[in-house]
Structure formats: C-alpha cells, structure tokens
C-alpha cells in the first residue's frame, strides 16, 4: 500500500518551476527574456522578474539598466506604482 502511494506521489511531484513563467522565455538570454516578460505584463517588479527567471535581483537590475540605456525600455512613474514601457 505504501509503495503505491509513493509511486503516485513520485508521478505527481510538482515541477520545480514558477507557475507564472511563460513557456516562451526558456532558453532566451536575460535581456530578451525581460523584454518579452515586460511586454506581456508591464507591472512586474524586479523581484518578480528575478523569481520567474531564476536570477539574482542585482542581475535583473543590471540588465534593465542596459535595456534602458539602449532605449528599449522606459520606466514610467515611481518604483512602487509605476510600470515599464517596452520599445520594440
């Protein structure tokens, strides 16, 4: 009986990935993934982006800064209530 339960649990074990992460960002480099995520949801925070991509918050901040310098991304409003504007 316990072996059947163990097999069932093993088959139904959750995958260690974020549920909210779109499938289409896997395999992309960080800047491209950020642009795609922010195009889909411009309200995401740096922490949420880091959690989705499995990266450190500082890595996300550096990538966002480079995208802003390149003119591909703009922050509208404050850090707390603002949003991102993606320029494709």
State whether the Cα torsion 22-24-28-32 is positive or negative: negative
Q: How far is CA 57 from the centre of its chain?
A: 11
Look at residue 11 and give its three-state secondary structure. helix
* CB distance 62 to 88 below 8 Å: no
pTM attached to this predicted model: 0.70
Question: Which domains are present in the chain?
Answer: 27-88 (1.10.10.10)
Measure the CA–CA gap between 4 and 88, rounded to whole angstroms. Answer: 52
Tell me the pLDDT of the chain (88 aa) as tens digits: 778 777 776 666 554 444 455 546 667 899 999 999 999 999 999 999 999 999 999 999 999 999 999 999 999 999 889 999 999 8
Backbone torsion region of residue 27, taken as left when φ is above 0, otherwise alpha when ψ lies between -120 and 50, otherwise beta: left
């Amino acid at each position: 009986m316990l072996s059947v339960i163990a097999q069932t649990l093993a088959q139904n074990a959750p995958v260690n990935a974020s549920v909210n992460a779109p499938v289409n960002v896997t395999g992309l480099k960080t800047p491209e993934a950020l642009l795609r995520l922010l195009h889909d949801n411009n309200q995401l925070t740096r922490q949420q982006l880091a959690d989705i991509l499995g990266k450190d918050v500082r890595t996300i901040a550096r990538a966002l800064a480079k995208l802003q310098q390149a003119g591909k991304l703009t922050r509208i409003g404050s850090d707390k209530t603002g949003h991102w504007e993606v320029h494709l």
